[in-house]
């Protein structure tokens, strides 16, 4: 197998922004009646392997917006008719959020996840708005599996180590999370997670599917969110155990106060 080399790929996730108003998935999950997430599950099979596209993330530090575009593709493909945001759609969002100038390259410094999620909820990306987002508990494996299974994936921030630049499968290097394995030694990156099994999570990054193992997730994930979207949840039965009506009420109460 040829060694991966992601050295020239762009990152672009700024440090996490914590907001006490952010909804927590824990508040809407009833573990007593929630269907148990299967030991393995994956979405995205209706998207061709070569169809994901880079979404300009080889030129701009716009992974936060590209990850959203890939989720829109996956949700709509799994509901019958795939919508593929154009490169221009993604650049327009990145520019609106950060002030990025695609002609001069100025303000190409990346974006905070919270800014992208709030823009996605209030304004939309490629005319697709999300209903809400809810933070997952740190290192809560069950939350990740539930978010993927119930909502068609999750939106994840990674504090990537330098060792990830040349790994086919992202894993903590033999020396551990120090040196070239130190969190953030490469930079911040955002990916959608669209599948899992006992050993690995499946992500989309730089236009391809990729695997990372659970140890990598635990070592380098510094923020993660379940995304509630009409592109997915609105076209299927409400997941048993997920209190969507309560979330909608809470969202109405805080919408006017959110950025």
- Local structure of 25: helix, strand or coil: helix
List, in order of start, the domains of the chain with CATH numbers. 25-255 (3.90.70.10)
Contacts of 48 by beta carbon, 8 Å cutoff, 6+ apart: none
Burial 158-189 (b: 16+ CB within 10 A, else e): bbbbbbbbebeebbbbeeebeeebbbebbbbb
Calculate ∠ Cα 241-130-108, nearest 5°.
130
pTM, to two decimals: 0.91
Kindly list the averaged pLDDT for each block of 10 residues, start to end, along the chain of length 259: 69 90 85 81 92 96 98 91 96 98 96 97 96 90 90 95 97 96 98 97 97 97 93 61 74 57
The pLDDT, as a whole number, for residue 248 is 74
- Local structure of 165: helix, strand or coil: helix
Q: Helices 113-122 and 63-78: crossing angle, nearest 10°?
A: 50
Q: What is the DSSP string of 68-120?
A: HHHHHHHHHHHTTS-----HHHHHHHHHHHH---TTT-TT-S-B-HHHHHHHH
């Amino acid at each position: 197998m040829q060694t991966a080399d992601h050295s020239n790929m762009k990152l672009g996730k700024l440090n996490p922004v914590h907001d006490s108003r952010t909804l927590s998935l824990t508040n809407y999950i009833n573990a007593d009646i929630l269907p148990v997430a299967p030991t393995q599950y994956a979405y995205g099979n209706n998207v061709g392997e070569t169809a994901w596209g880079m979404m300009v993330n080889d030129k701009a530090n716009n992974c936060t917006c590209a990850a959203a575009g890939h989720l829109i593709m996956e949700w709509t493909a799994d509901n019958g008719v795939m919508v593929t945001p154009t490169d221009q759609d993604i650049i327009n969002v990145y520019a609106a959020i950060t002030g990025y100038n695609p002609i001069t390259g100025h303000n190409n410094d990346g974006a905070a996840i919270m800014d992208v999620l709030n823009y996605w909820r209030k304004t939309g990306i490629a005319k697709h708005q999300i209903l809400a987002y809810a933070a997952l508990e740190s290192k809560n494996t069950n939350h990740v599996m539930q978010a993927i299974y119930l909502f068609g994936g999750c939106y994840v921030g990674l504090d990537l180590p330098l060792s990830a630049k040349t790994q086919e499968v992202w894993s903590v290097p033999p020396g551990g999370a120090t040196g070239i394995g130190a969190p953030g030694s490469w930079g911040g990156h955002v990916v959608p997670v669209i599948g899992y099994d006992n050993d690995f999570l499946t992500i989309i990054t730089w236009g391809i599917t990729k695997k990372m193992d659970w140890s990598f997730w635990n070592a380098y994930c510094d923020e993660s969110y379940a995304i509630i979207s009409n592109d997915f949840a609105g076209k299927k039965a409400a997941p048993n155990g997920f209190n969507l009506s309560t979330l909608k009420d809470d969202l109405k109460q805080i919408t006017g106060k959110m950025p």
